[in-house]
Amino acid sequence: MRRRISDFPRIEGYIRISEDELKADLKAGNTLYRQFNQFEPSSTTRVQHLRLMPPIVVDLGELVGLIYRSDKWQPGHPRSYIHRLQTPPRLVCNVEGTQLYIVGGNYHITDRGIEG
């Protein structure tokens, strides 16, 4: 039997995690940052934003590439990086058209950058 939307609990977009999970995630995030950038993070910021993708999204197409600016490998000297994705994820947005999401694909963040 299919459940109606009203049968699901109300989700406000925030997931509570234990202090131990938070510390483990912080450590993993710092490790990945060091591997990707080749230097220590200057700060760590806890942000509050919706972490859940809405149940209905609009498919905008394949995300065949990314362009971003980072000072990875050269602290204080940002450069632009262009990546063509070999197995592209989908680019989708919320129904209001105000938030983008990257869904699927086959890529990894490594010490060499974004691969895949």
- Out of 37-51, 64-78, 93-107, pick the least confident: 37-51
The whole-angstrom distance between residue 80's C-alpha and the CA centroid of its chain comes to 19
Looking at every residue in the chain, the average pLDDT score rounds to 82
Q: Which pLDDT score, from 0 to 100, does residue 50 have?
A: 66
Instruction: State mean pLDDT over 3-20.
Output: 54
Q: What percent of the chain has pLDDT over 70?
A: 82
The pLDDT-based confidence of 104 (bands split at 50, 70, 90) is very high
Residue with tokens 């995630």: 25
Sequence-ordered alpha helix ranges (H) in 1-116: 19-37
- Domain boundaries, given as residue ranges, for the chain: 6-115
Residue 94 structure tokens = 């919320």
pLDDT for 55:
86
Residue in this structure with the two tokens 């699927």, named with its chain if needed: 104
Task: Give the predicted TM-score (pTM) of the model.
Answer: 0.67
Q: Which residues have C-beta within 8 Å of that of residue 84, sequence separation ≥ 6?
A: 64, 65
Q: What is the pLDDT of residues 26-69, one digit of tens each?
A: 899 889 889 888 889 888 877 776 668 888 999 999 999 999 99
